Amino acid sequence: MSHLSNPIATADQVFTNVTNNVLPLELQDSVRFYTARLTQAAGILLRLPQSITAQANVLLYRYWLVDDIMRHEFSDLSAAVIYLAAKISASPRSLRSITNVYAYLISTSSTLSGTTVPEPDPKSYYLSENTYITKRNKLLHIEGQTLNALGFNTHVALPHPLAITYLQTMDVFTSPKTGKEVAKRTIEYLNTALLSPQMLYLTHQPASLATAAIYLAARDKSVRLPECEWWEVFDCEREELGFLVVGMGSLEGVVKREAERWGKEKGMISRKDVREEMWKMGIRNENEVEEPLDEEDELNKLLDARVGA
């Protein structure tokens, strides 16, 4: 049964990671939400199966559980993790494709924020050959650090297949139309939970996540499930089910809160944005030094400018 379960983070691990972090809890939540959302958007543009994108987000959260959340630029870490997740799957993607997609997503032309861009400017997400090589090397370096932090354990069991099996077990598909609606809603809850700052995929097993998503989907679609405590059949206690139902149902509030903090037009945040927010809050990490200029980046810019001239 090991292929159906994941290594679970204990409450002590999560608490220690959160409290030892330099960032206030609300900024940690912002970083996790925006980076997970960026990963999801990149997976769509790269035409990756949702299972690979989901695995990438789980690996992303696992990495942050053991390493400093501010160590790498958030978008770079997202790109490196999705490259890793795709590489070990049946649907690998080239680094060039990934860097192009991320250049677009973090550009001013990106529609990730949900706002309408009148005329996208290709120059805002163009990658020169020199810039691409620099970015490629950086992503490969981050990939190695991520694998090392994870102990090279990239196994991720997802709740999506279990959810469909559970629905079949409870004869929800007796009515094809209703069954499809409940199944679709269940998968939507599971995908949305990947964006949760509560790190639900790290603290609960796939069986429990699938059970909670089914409970919420059936409630939304007014579908009657067995009168008995059916969740116990799927190895989910009542208290755990209640916690997950609240957690999965709270994402709408998280989205509104982040939009109020950063603005609705903000598609992605950076380490610079987070540092500026910390200064506004009167928080300054005395041990943190300003990032040195990347000499290779600066050289590439000079070369690009000379070629353009």
The rounded percent of the chain whose pLDDT value lies above 90 is 68
**Statement: residue 19 has pLDDT above 50:** yes
Confidence at residue 298, expressed as pLDDT on a 0 to 100 scale = 53
Confidence at residue 116, expressed as pLDDT on a 0 to 100 scale = 63
Confidence at residue 130, expressed as pLDDT on a 0 to 100 scale = 93
Confidence at residue 174, expressed as pLDDT on a 0 to 100 scale = 86
**Residue 266 pLDDT grade (very low, low, confident, very high; cuts 50, 70, 90):** confident
Confidence at residue 118, expressed as pLDDT on a 0 to 100 scale = 64
pTM assigned to the model: 0.88
Distance CA 231, CA 65 (A): 29
Read off the pLDDT of residues 94-125 as tens digits, 9 standing for 90 and up. 999 999 999 999 988 888 866 666 677 777 88
Read off the pLDDT of residues 30-52 as tens digits, 9 standing for 90 and up. 999 999 999 999 999 999 999 99
Residue 139's φ and ψ, nearest 5 degrees, are -65, -40
Confidence at residue 2, expressed as pLDDT on a 0 to 100 scale = 58
Confidence at residue 300, expressed as pLDDT on a 0 to 100 scale = 53
- The mean per-residue pLDDT over the stretch 140-155 comes to 95
Read off the pLDDT of residues 48-75 as tens digits, 9 standing for 90 and up. 999 999 999 999 999 999 999 999 999 9
Residue whose C-alpha is closest to residue 28's, from 266, 269, 251: 269
